[in-house]
Amino acid sequence: MGPLVVVLMVAVLVLAFGMVAALLVVVRRTSGGLPRAAKPSPEQVQAVQDELEQAREEAQEIRAKAETDAEEILRRSEAAAESATQMRREVEEESRILKSELKELRVDLERREARLAEREQRLDEEARRQAERDRKLAETEIELAGRREELLQAEEERRVVLERVAGLTAEQAKAELVKEIQNQAKREAALIVREIEGDARKEGEKRATKIVTLAVQRLAAEQTAESVVSVLHLPGDEMKGRIIGREGRNIRAFESTTGVNLIIDDTPEAVLLSCFDPVRRETARLTLEKLVLDGRIHPQRIEEAHDRSRQEVQDLCARAGEDALVELGITDMHPELTLLLGQLRYRTSYGQNVLKHLIESAHIAGIMAAELKLNPTLLKRCALLHDIGKALTHEVEGSHALIGAEIARRYGEEEDVVHAIEAHHNEVEVRTVEAVLTQAADAISGSRPGARRESLEAYVKRLERLEQIAQSYEGVEKVFAMQAGREIRVMVKPDAIDDIQAQVIARDVAKQVEEELTYPGQIRITVVRESRATEFAR
């Protein structure tokens, strides 16, 4: 109550001071306006009364202001007292919490000290037990050494007794035993050799005939062995450094643009181009050849040369398709089908060149049609187009027979030709003679000795599946299977995929490859996120 009393006293003093001041003002005005001896006139009396009324009003205003100030001071003092009380309570609560925490810390410290003392006691006991075990182990070793010495002495005594009884020394007995074993081994070896010679005489002629037959078969027919590596000869070894570029810039740009692995080793004046896709490899070879001839090698020139080389390869494919039609005497075929035929020039199936297989099948089908009095041109057309779907198996999902039939139907081929294409692997029931003869021509061309190799086809399918798995993810722009299938390089769109999503794509692709494919060793998945900014100075 001390602050409240002080505030009330101040308010009373302020009020009294105001009233006194008002009275002084009235007295001063009254005494200064009239002479003491003169009698005031009514006007002066009225003026004095007006001034008294004004002074009274001023005194009331001063009093009201003083009361307001006193109330404000009282309110602030009450708020300050309440705030001080709240602060005192908070301080007391914090003090209580700190005391409780300090007590808990003290209890925890005592508990830890007890555990530490218990642990030290256990360690001391363990050390004593370990010392006891070491002592017993040393005693056991000493005892074993004594027993070993006794056993050696007993063995020596037994050997001396045996030598005296047998009349032979140990060396003589060993020599007799070795001689007996050698004689027995020679007899058994002679029996085994006799059996082997008998079996060899029985099987020798059969095996020799088989070997000679296989050799004749391999030499009698042309063998198609497609390679996955192309060699480009250089004018000098200094060109390798220019191909690599500063800090590998050129070789990285070349591999990223073409999707072909460029191998630069110690081979003098030569580099290797490795890729399972022959069209891509041929395009890369022409690109590198142009760059070497030009001499200017940098990322911009690589892209320009690659565009020109890709156009040249397309022209070569178109020319190859036209040559195949001229060789078979077929003229009326849609240009798109002719281009697809030419693209098969760089495709292989089980190691056999697909375009050569189609031409060969067409010739065989024409011969069979002539013998059976059928239309040779129609049969040639069916056989030539039966594998046309393999030109798009990288881009379109599904069987190449059904894909090829859809392509032929789209470009206006006859229904007999379409049916022969879709039925040549029995995926559709065979209904016409042309379809049967197309199957026969395909089988004859593919079954000749040396025509196909299963391992290459399985290898190519595995690489194609690797690229399909990576291409199936959203935001992926290009995918290249490199290093003979040991690495997958995935190019993503930088505006759609950030760095974290690139890591997620790499992990998901690796997991899917592990679940779906069987392969030796390991496959590295590299996700490349590259941003480019291009401007022109004018």
Provide the pLDDT for residue 1.
46
C-alpha 39, offset from chain centre:
118
Say what percent of the chain tops pLDDT 90.
11
Q: Of 405, 388, 282, 395, whose CA–CA distance to 338 is shortest? A: 388
Mean pLDDT of 199-227: 53
Provide the pLDDT for residue 268.
79
Q: Of 32, 30, 35, whose CA–CA distance to 52 is shortest? A: 30
Confidence of residue 5 (pLDDT cuts 50, 70, 90): low
pLDDT tens digits, one per residue of 388-411: 888 875 566 677 888 889 999 999
Q: Residue 53 and residue 396: Cα distance in Å, rounded?
A: 110
Q: Residue 393 and residue 400: Cα distance in Å, rounded?
A: 6
pLDDT tens digits, one per residue of 295-323: 888 888 888 888 998 888 888 888 888 88
Provide the pLDDT for residue 8.
59
Contact status, residue 360 vs residue 399, Cβ threshold 8 Å: no
SS3 state at 504: helix
β-sheet with 476-482: strand ranges across: 476-482, 487-492, 524-529
Provide the pLDDT for residue 221.
38
Q: Of 308, 289, 395, 274, whose CA–CA distance to 343 is shortest? A: 395
Side-chain half-sphere exposure of 244, counting CA atoms within 13 A: 12
* Beta bridge partners of residue 482, listed in sequence order: 487
pLDDT tens digits, one per residue of 258-303: 888 888 877 777 888 888 777 788 888 889 888 888 888 888 888 8
Residue 62 neighbours by CB under 8 Å, 6+ apart: 15, 18, 19, 21, 22
Whether pLDDT at 178 is above 50: yes
DSSP 529: E
Q: Residue 241 and residue 216: Cα distance in Å, rounded?
A: 47
What DSSP element (H or E) covers 361? Answer: helix 354-371
Q: Of 473, 466, 533, whose CA–CA distance to 501 is shortest? A: 473
Whether pLDDT at 177 is above 80: no
- 11-15, 152-156, 175-179, 520-524: range with lowest mean pLDDT: 11-15
pLDDT tens digits, one per residue of 424-480: 888 888 888 889 889 888 888 876 655 555 456 667 788 888 889 999 998 899 898
Mean pLDDT for all residues in the chain = 80
pLDDT tens digits, one per residue of 351-372: 678 888 899 889 988 888 888 8
Q: Residue 267 and residue 524: Cα distance in Å, rounded?
A: 26
Q: Of 420, 393, 392, whose CA–CA distance to 405 is shortest? A: 420
Confidence of residue 25 (pLDDT cuts 50, 70, 90): low
Q: Residue 353 and residue 226: Cα distance in Å, rounded?
A: 8
pLDDT tens digits, one per residue of 316-361: 888 888 888 888 888 888 888 888 888 888 877 766 788 888 998 8
Provide the pLDDT for residue 24.
60
Confidence of residue 28 (pLDDT cuts 50, 70, 90): low
Q: Which has the higher per-residue pLDDT, 396 or 497?
A: 497
* Beta bridge partners of residue 349, listed in sequence order: 352
Whether pLDDT at 378 is above 70: yes
- 70-84, 168-182, 341-355, 363-377: range with lowest mean pLDDT: 168-182
Provide the pLDDT for residue 425.
84
Residue 463 neighbours by CB under 8 Å, 6+ apart: 276, 481, 485
SS3 state at 272: strand
Contact status, residue 381 vs residue 417, Cβ threshold 8 Å: yes
Provide the pLDDT for residue 381.
92
Mean pLDDT of 494-501: 85
Q: Residue 186 and residue 95: Cα distance in Å, rounded?
A: 102
Confidence of residue 210 (pLDDT cuts 50, 70, 90): low
Confidence of residue 109 (pLDDT cuts 50, 70, 90): very high
Hey, CA dihedral for 262, 264, 268, 269, is it positive or negative?
A: positive
Confidence of residue 207 (pLDDT cuts 50, 70, 90): low
CA angle 134, 135, 139 (to 5 degrees): 115
Where would I find the beta strands (DSSP E) of 252-336?
Answer: 261-263, 270-274
If one counts every other C-beta atom within 10 angstroms of the C-beta of residue 497, the result is: 20
Q: Residue 510 and residue 522: Cα distance in Å, rounded?
A: 10
- 2-11, 142-151, 494-503, 506-515: range with lowest mean pLDDT: 2-11
Paired tokens of 92: 């007391």
Q: Residue 29 and residue 14: Cα distance in Å, rounded?
A: 23
Q: Residue 228 and residue 53: Cα distance in Å, rounded?
A: 121
Residue 481 neighbours by CB under 8 Å, 6+ apart: 276, 463, 464, 466, 467, 487, 488
Block residue for tokens 């390991």:
522
C-alpha 150, offset from chain centre:
69
Mean pLDDT of 207-220: 47
Provide the pLDDT for residue 36.
46
> Dihedral through CA 367, CA 370, CA 376, CA 379, nearest 10?
-60
What DSSP element (H or E) covers 476? Answer: strand 476-482
Q: Residue 357 and residue 352: Cα distance in Å, rounded?
A: 7
Measuring CA to CA, how many Å separate 145 from each of 140, 148, 312?
9, 5, 88
Confidence of residue 10 (pLDDT cuts 50, 70, 90): low
Whether pLDDT at 101 is above 80: yes
SS3 state at 426: coil
Q: Residue 106 and residue 100: Cα distance in Å, rounded?
A: 10
Mean pLDDT of 68-87: 84
Q: Residue 420 and residue 399: Cα distance in Å, rounded?
A: 14
Provide the pLDDT for residue 209.
57
